[in-house]
Amino acid sequence: MRLIYRVLLSIVVIIAALLCYSAGNMTGVTMFIVLGFMLEFALWFGLGKIFRRRAS
């Protein structure tokens, strides 16, 4: 079950990041683009943590 939650959370975060990028580009509000970068960073940082745990 935990794997399903991780996958769903990853999907939700990447969709939120894409929506923030889109909103930032359409409106010109830089804060949305920065929020998108932060969400994407959180996604990749979290995935790296999962892969490190599996390798050990």
Q: Which string of b and e fits 2-14 if b means at least 16 CB within 10 Å?
A: eeeeeeeebeebe
30 found inside a domain: yes
What per-residue confidence (pLDDT) applies to 10? 81
7 found inside a domain: yes
pLDDT top residue among 10 and 52: 10
26 found inside a domain: yes
55 found inside a domain: no
The tens digit of pLDDT for each residue in 27-45 reads 878 888 888 888 888 888 8
Is this prediction's pTM over 0.75?
no
29 found inside a domain: yes
Extended beta strands in 1-56, E state: none
34 found inside a domain: yes
* Three-class SS state of 32: helix
What per-residue confidence (pLDDT) applies to 27? 80
Question: How many domains are contained in the chain?
Answer: 1
H-run or E-run covering 13: helix 2-27
Residue 20 domain boundaries? 2-50
* Three-class SS state of 43: helix
11 found inside a domain: yes
